[in-house]
Structure formats: structure tokens, C-alpha cells
Amino acid sequence: MFASVIVSVSSNSVDRLFTYKIPDSLVDTIRVGHRVFIPFGNRDIQGFVIEIKETADIDVSKVKEINRIMDGTPVLTEELIQLSKKIASYYVDRQISVIEAILPVALKTKSKTILKLSEHAGNEATVLFNELQKNNEVIVRNLDKDELKKIVPFMKSKELIEETIIAQHTKKKTNRAVRSLYTGNMPSERAVKQRELLEWIESEDAPITLLRIRDAGYSVQLVDALEVKGLVERVDVIVDRDPYDTRVFFESERHTLNDEQQIAYNKIKDAMIENRQETFLLHGITGSGKTEVYLETIEHALNKGKEAIMLVPEIALTPQMVHRFKARFGDDVAVLHSALSHGEKYDEWRKIKEGRASIAIGARSSIFAPFKNIGIIIIDEEHESTYKQGERPLYDARQVALWRAAYFNCPLILGSATPSLESYARSEKGVYKRLELKHRAKAQPLPETTIVDMALSRQEGNISIVSDILREKIIERIEKNEQIILLLNRRGYAHFLLCQDCGHVPMCPNCDISLTYHKSNGTLMCHYCAFETPVPNKCPECQSTAVTFRGSGTEKVEEILRDMFNTEVVRMDIDTTRNKGMHETLLSHFVEDNIPILLGTQMIAKGLDFPNVTLVGVLNADTTLNIPDFRANERTFQLLTQVAGRAGRGDKTGEVIFQTYNPDHYAILDAQMNRYIDFYKKEMEYRKIARYSPYYFHVLFTITSENFNHCVKASHDVSTKLLEHISNQSIVIGPSPSPIERIKNKFRFQILLKYRHEPALLEILEQLDQRYYVAYKKSGVSLRIDVDPQFIM
């Protein structure tokens, strides 16, 4: 038997399958998806078994043998292997890179797979374990072929249990516990506590941790006494690193679906019953109860014995969302997001792989949850750009979800109050089936929204970032003991430092962008390369002391609000939520201590449901409007509509204030009136004229080099190659400098390809990728190919 193996080497030159002989001792053990150690050149490396076949397609005498397997069970399913190949092809990347993105980081760190005796191990398994163990553990990769053959039957009978130990988390994976060695001899009747503790230990099916014993009021000395008498022994037990182990989730109250929700649910359920792959666009205004529809469809999938994946944007994965799912489904839920440690993510992934969780909820990478029988996939806030990976492989979780849904013949739900133009256009053409939720679930009215012209406000003498109208509304809410959410999508204290005598603005030495002032640590910082420098006392150019800060970020506005209203403010941005658990801590502080004002960047715009929030203020509605990207209008409309939906979600009426210098812009006016259809029609007209998505597909080529001339030359080369091979129906824009021409000391040029149908495009992209893979090694010029980009920057 032979195996086709992909090697864990991120190089185009080895981006193919290699044939290896399966040793006779492993023929019954190795399966597709196994990690294996293989000889490659003059070293042993890791690979993944992609295919098993009876014959080799090359000279058998030249075929090397697989050394050993790394895990008792495969880490990849056959479906995920097929998916990795599809992703690599579509997004022009190496399959091994995709496989590594699919698997948790913990499996790519220094790790070892060991075997342990189960509680039910028989004598034969125990004898074998004792023969093979070193330091009370058996490391799978150290076993030879004969030893591996011996352990297989005991793994199948679950007498030997497999565990992956991650080097940096080993100590957290086990807890000290006590198990009974009781054979009929009890402590003396005078040792009441010892007898009591032994009876408890004996009654349990599994060892009891010392932590549980102490919590129950027994001392460690009692355990010592029982151990001396040979009645118990200390052992290590595996424990999951549960990020929510300190939280208590009470079963939530079930809500009866209203008519709109019931209609939507019934149509999705019909597709589930028929095992029909269909994509539903659930278009529901903020507060319309989309989540309740999600919960019902997931429950139906579980009742059918199937599994569910629910994706939410990272910024929307709030404690409220997690609580809602945990309260409904308990331990059936595995949560995956970036705030977890590698070990916690690995344990959540392992719960899914071992069948101990049937629901995966999380951010973008959760789309790769290793389920084998998916019944429903849900993408909430489907319009969010964060579903597109920013580093290679540049996959889009929405596209991956479509592929997985097709494989499992299950429905895919795309939910949003402000769907992407692409999704809504597909629903107009019948490619997606659109379901509408036009009313709030609890029949609350949508908040009334007022637009404040900040240019007019300045003319009237108010130069503050808080307009007179918004200030009055905030005071009114504070007096009523109600809460306010304020959005400013710009972090830091001030946008930049300016010399008032010569006009000098300190720039990042590595990037073509000004440095942002952060008062908390007294530095000027680059938000692209993290360069930091102390704030100068005088101008570096003319030595003038007339330096001043211009613009306002969340850090400065927090100070302004505290002084203006003499009240406490909770600030949420990247700077205040860097540490683990701070997101939840800050929101809990806001709710439980009834803090009047929550100030933050776009991370507060969605996923929050606070009944006492009756006022939402957007301090600068133009921030996203001025970005040089064709989706700027769409993102502005979406952000404003989403944050406005945070107001008036309880019994109290909500109100919203948009502060802007563009009061007549249709994106802002339509967001004010919650007119999605009007905005959609206007924006589609502009997209059609300018030949942008969804009328055209896009590929963005970004060429970077530390040498400006090399960058320019390569850009023209890429452009020439494209023009030689594409049809005259497609459009090539560029090459031109990127909006930010230099980042991290690398010059950046870009080319945008717009096309509708190019059958040979994939071949062209692969040739360019290969060409510049070689070029990078020679001259340091790199080419990034972004298929279906979310940002043209």
C-alpha cells in the first residue's frame, strides 16, 4: 500500500503530492488525514496523508517508507482535505498553507502525542503500557513499527487513550487527582473524616481532583493519610481548558417566534428536512430577532443528529452572544475566537473533533470546524469584511461556507440588517432565497435619528467634538439614569502632531503615514508597523516649541466627556481590550455598574443588546466615508445603521444623533431613515457605471519591494502579462502607487483587474504567483494576489 503525502514545507517547489510506502505494520492503522513523519531529503519532516492507493505511479524501488504516524486518529477529514485543495486553487495558494490554516495553531507548535491508560484498561493493556512507557508516558512518534502494531487493538478498545501535549501548555492540561485503591479495608471507625472521604472517592467513576476535595471541605492531610495506608493514590487527570469554566449559564427562556420569524424558520427547516443545499439571505432590521431564528434552526439540526456552525464577526462575538448559545445548548457549544489561548482553542477544537460538541460558534476560522455531519451553517452580519482573511491564504469564510454547505447538502443562512450589495443582488436574481424580517421582535419602534451638520455647528461657535444637540441629549439621559453609546471610529489621543511655525508633521520612518499620539504611554505610534517614539518637546525641523496636537481619537474624547459631564466613561478600543478578558470586563462594568457612557470604535457597533441604552451618538459619521475604496459608501451606511440599532432595544424609546460634515450624502441620509433598498439602488447605479462588484469580479495585485525601482519594474511586468492574456472585455487599472505607498519600509504598487468571464484566469494567476515566488528569492520583490478583495488599498 502507498500513501500520497503533502509535506509541511511552505514552498512552491514542493507544492505537490509525494508517494510513500506504507509499512506493513501500519497498513491497518494509517488513514487519510493522518499526520506522519516521513524522510524528505536528508531529514525527517511532518506531512499529511492525502490519499491511500494500492500501487505507486513511480518506480517502487525509489519510494521511501513512512517512518511513523504522529496521532492515533486523523486530524483531517476527507472533506476538509478536498476543501483545502479547492481553497488553494481558487485563492492561488499552496495546499499545505491552507491545511495549516484549517488546523488549530496548537498542532503546529512543538507538541507530542502520548498514550495513557484508561480507567477500564485490562491487564494486557497495562502490561504493554508499562513495557513502552518512559516517565509514565508513551510518546507515539517514538514507537517503532512493531510497537505501533501492538497498541492498535488497545486503542480501538479505548483501553489506551491518546492525548496531544502542547509544550507551552502542558502544565495546564492536567490536574492532580485522587483515585481509590480500596480493596475492602477501611480506616478505623475513629477516623470518621477519612472513612467519609474514602467512601466518596470510591463512589466516583473517575478520579476526584484535589481542588474538588478541598472545595468540599476536606484537607490535603486526609488524602495523605489515606495514601500512606495504601487506600488511594494520586494521579494526573486530563482537563479541558475551558475559557468559560468560571461562568454559570442558566437555561434561557424560550421565545415564541413571531409571524415573520416563523415564516423564515419554516422555509429554512423545509430545506433541512429535504437535505437541500440552499442559501438563504435573512434580511432583518436591527432588533428583528434574527438570532432567535438561528437558535431554532440549530436546534432542529441537533434533533436530526446533525451539527451546526455559526460564524459571527470577531467584534460581535460578545459575552452576550456566547451566553445566549451556552444558556440554550450548554456543553454542546464550542467557542472559537482570537481571545482564547492556543491551548484553549485546541481544547475547543478537540471537543468538536471527538464529538463532544455539536455546535461551533466563532469568528472566521470556525468555518473549518472538523464536523462530519453538518446540518446548518449560519453567517451572522454577513456583510462584514472581517470574514475575509487578511494574510495568506486569503480565503473568504463566506465562500468556504458555500462549498461546505454544498458538500453536506445543507442550508446556509446569511444574516444581516445591512446585507452586502453582492448578497442582496444575488437574492434579487434568485441565486439566494431572501427572507425578510421587517419589524422588531418586541414591536419596539426604530429610534428616531437626527443629523447634525458639524460645519454649521462650528460656524455657530461650537468647536467641540460634541455638538450642542448631542450634549443636551446626553445630559437628559444621565438625569434619567439611562445609558448612552458613543461611536468614534478612531483610536488614540490625537491624529497627528503639527508644528504651527513650519507645518512639520512627524511621519513614521517605515511607512508613508503620520504618527498618532497616544497619551496613555506618551508616545507617537504608527498603527501599521507599531513604530513608537517619545513625543518631542519641540519641532524636529525648526526647533520651534509651537507644536500642537490635531484631531481627536477615543482616548482624547474620553477625557472630554469626563470633564464635560462629570461622569464615568467606559472606553472600548484596541488599546483598552488588548489583555485577555477585558472585552467582557468592560461591558460588565458598563451594565452592572450602570455607567452612563460607553465610548468606542466600531467594536461597539454590533452584537450589543442593552435595554437601558436609549441614546446613540456617532461623533464623526464621515470617518469611513473618506477612505479611498469603492466600498466606502457601503461601509458607512452599514456602520451607521448597525450602531443606530443599539438604541431603544428595551421598553424605552431610543434616539440617535449622527454628527457629520456631509449631511446631504445619501449614505448618511439613507442610514438616518433606515432605507436599505433606497441605498442599494443608488449604490448599484454607481457600481454599474464604475464597473465594480457585483457587476464585475476583482483581483487585486499588490507588488512590494524595499527597492523602489524594482517595485515599479515588477508592477509593469505584471500589468503586461495580464494584458497579454486577458480578453478585451476585462479591465486592468494600474499599475499605480497604493494609497499608502510604503509600509514597513516596503514600497507598494497595485493593479486591479476587473473581469466578468476569464476562463484562463486561474492559469495566469498561478504563473504569476510562481514567477514572483522565484523573483522574491532573487530580488526581494513579492506579489500578493487577492482574489475577491474586500479592500482596494
Which segments are annotated as binding site for Zn(2+)? 499, 502, 508, 511, 526, 529, 539, 542
Edge-to-edge strand list for the sheet holding 655-660: 448-453, 655-660, 613-618, 483-487, 597-600, 569-572
The closest of 42, 27, 35, 41 to 5, measured between CA atoms, is 35
Integer Cα distance of 579 and 602 in angstroms: 18
Give Cα 367 distance to the centre of its chain. Answer: 9
Burial of residue 724 (number of CB atoms within 10 Å: 0-12, 13-18, 19+): exposed
532-534 β-sheet, strand order: 516-518, 523-525, 532-534
Helical segments of 249-289, H only: 259-273
Contact 475, 561 (CB under 8 A): no
Grid cell for residue 602: 466600531
Are 387 and 788 spatial neighbours (Cβ–Cβ below 8 Å)? no
Q: Which of 719, 728, 726 is nearest to 783 (CA)?
A: 719
Instruction: Please list, in sequence order, all residues whose beta carbon lies within 8 angstroms of the beta carbon of residue 177, skipping any fewer than 6 positions away.
Output: 207, 208, 209, 210, 234, 235, 236, 237
Q: Would you give the distance in Å from CA 131 to the centre of its chain? A: 44
SS (H, E, C) 545-612: CCEEEECCCHHHHHHHHHHHHCCCEEEECCCCCCCCCHHHHHHHHHHHCCCCEEEECHHHCCCCCCCC
- Rounded Cα distance between 677 and 11, Å, is 47
In whole angstroms, what separates CA 713 from the centre of its chain?
Answer: 37
Cα–Cα distance, 89 to 199 (Å, whole number): 61
CB 347 within 8 A of CB 240: yes
* Residue 403, SS3 per DSSP: helix
**First vs last Cα of the chain: how many Å apart?**
50
787: DSSP letter:
E
Quick check: 173 and 165 in contact, CB under 8 A? yes
CA–CA dist 125, 82 (Å, integer): 37
**Residue numbers belonging to the annotated binding site:** 499, 502, 508, 511, 526, 529, 539, 542
* Gyration radius of the chain's alpha carbons: 30
What SS3 state is found at 389? coil
Please state, in angstroms and rounded to a whole number, the distance separating the CA atoms of residues 425 and 353: 37
**Strands 111-117, 160-166: pairing kind:** antiparallel
- DSSP state string for 131-171: HH-BTTBEEGGG--HHHHHHHHHHHHTTSEEEEEEEGGGHH
Q: How far is CA 431 from CA 33, 223, 279, in A?
A: 34, 66, 8
